[in-house]
Amino acid sequence: MFHDKINRRQFIARASAPVAVLAFGAIAAPADKKDEDWTPLFNGKDLTGWTAVGGAMWAVEDGLLTGKQGPNFAAGDLYTETEYGDFELKVTFKMVWPGNSGVWFRYQSHEKAYQADILEYKDPECYTGSLYCGGKMFIALQKDPKLEKRDAWNTFVIRAEGDRLTLKLNGVQTADVHDDSSSHGKVGLQVHPGEEFKDMKIIVKEALIRPLS
């Protein structure tokens, strides 16, 4: 969730988801086009295609994309150089807790963007899988702290089509809202500021995107 000057008590909660076939003597059929449509957002080697903003430290370690605070608890964001409109996005991640992070999408600015949150929040009470909108705070609250797997891999599936936004965490739908604050923008990751998050680390194993016609 973005750390700005918004009064965190003023928010809007508008809402409380042929493989190649080999046969004897036959040539393998082409892969399903739906599988071909998925495009990796990072190459597993370096940050090519991404831009870092702020003081957080971003790296690729053993094929995993990682982010943590910089010196003096510095925060920051990492954005794709490419913008996307209507799409489906899969992100497989885990967090070293305590932490506050998230997956930006349709990001144009901190006031015009959405974020699939990775967090524990007290006021209002919500957890990973909540949906944040710049300028509006939370537009969907995920209230089950056990839905995220601690110390294990989790998967977001984010779908943005027109003004409809849906979010699933580990196969469970946590958001289904209509909002027209942003129609397109970058995909990104966030590292939140604050000494309480000095040991946090966001780790992304895979990020895949495909356009929706």
Domain residue ranges in the chain: 39-211
Express each pLDDT in 169-187 by its tens digit.
999 999 999 999 999 999 9
Express each pLDDT in 54-94 by its tens digit.
999 999 999 999 999 999 999 999 999 999 999 999 999 99
> How many Cβ atoms sit within 10 Å of the Cβ of residue 34?
8
pTM: 0.83
Query: What CATH number does the domain located at 39-211 have?
Result: 2.60.120.560
